[in-house]
Structures are given as structure tokens and as C-alpha cells.
């Protein structure tokens, strides 16, 4: 089994509705995102997917999150923009753009020591 990963980042603000504590107040993060794709096979030139192609897809998705107030975005109007929900959103968005990829997981860090992982495996 092969696994390839790409990383990127974006900055945004959010607040957690219904949360009792500091995170219910408006605050921001410099989020770090890692996408892992798996395959049992590689193509004729020895790749699961071209890193450049996977990075481009991820950057397109993150550009819609970067420097925004996440709570105002349609995808987070009815659910909190938690690390868990952001990871799931990115996973689903990549799946829609490139359905033939087998995404292993999406990891999102809101700090250097705190991350959430979403997968469907």
C-alpha cells in the first residue's frame, strides 16, 4: 500500500456556538492541513498522484477558507467550524473534485499541539 501526503495552511477566524469557554468568543488560527491519499497501485511512471496536482486541489479548497470568518460560510452555518468539521469538509471537497482518489484522511491542526483527523475508513 502506498500513501502520499501534502500539506498546506490557511488563516481564518471562527467562534464556537453553544460552547462555554474562551472558544465561544471570536478568535483566529493559522490552520495547518495534511491530506493523505492511498493506493495499492502506482501509475506507469511510478506515482499514486502527482504531488503538484494534489496540492493544486487542496489550495483551491483552502482559498475559499483563507482569511474568512468561517461561521459566515454556507458550509458552517448549521454546524460549528470545529477542527473536526473543517477536516471533514476538506475531505468531502477533495472527494468531489477528484473522486478517483482514495483519501486516507485529512488532518487539521489549529495549534502545534492540537489536531483532528477525519477519515471514512
Catalytic residue among 14, 29, 34, 110: 110
Determine whether 24 is an active site residue.
no
Instruction: Write the pLDDT tens digit of every residue in 50-95.
Output: 999 999 999 999 999 999 999 999 999 999 999 999 999 999 999 9
Instruction: Write the pLDDT tens digit of every residue in 109-119.
Output: 999 999 999 99
Could you tell me which of 37, 17, 34 has the C-alpha nearest to residue 26?
Answer: 17
Helix (H) or strand (E) segment spanning residue 105 = strand 102-111
Determine whether 110 is an active site residue.
yes
Determine whether 29 is an active site residue.
no
Catalytic residue among 27, 59, 67, 120: 67
- Whole-structure pTM over 0.85, yes or no? yes
Q: Identify whether the C-beta of residue 8 lies closer than 8 Å to the C-beta of residue 33.
A: yes
Give the model's pLDDT for residue 45: 95
Fold adopted by 2-118: Tetrahydropterin Synthase; Chain A (3.30.479)
DSSP 3-state of 9: strand
CA atoms of 88 and 78, how far apart (whole Å) = 14
Q: Where along the chain do its domains lie?
A: 2-118
Amino acid at each position: 500500500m502506498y500513501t502520499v501526503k501534502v500539506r498546506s495552511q490557511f488563516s481564518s477566524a471562527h467562534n464556537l456556538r453553544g460552547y462555554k469557554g474562551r472558544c465561544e468568543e471570536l478568535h483566529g488560527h493559522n490552520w495547518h492541513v495534511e491530506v493523505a491519499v492511498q493506493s495499492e497501485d502506482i501509475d506507469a511512471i511510478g506515482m499514486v498522484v502527482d504531488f503538484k496536482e494534489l496540492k493544486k486541489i487542496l489550495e483551491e479548497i483552502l482559498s475559499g477558507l483563507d482569511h474568512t470568518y468561517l461561521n459566515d460560510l454556507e458550509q458552517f452555518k448549521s454546524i460549528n467550524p470545529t477542527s473536526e468539521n473543517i477536516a471533514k469538509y476538506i475531505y468531502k471537497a477533495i472527494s468531489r473534485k477528484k473522486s478517483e482518489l482514495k483519501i486516507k484522511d485529512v488532518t487539521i491542526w489549529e495549534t502545534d499541539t492540537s489536531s483532528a483527523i477525519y477519515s471514512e475508513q
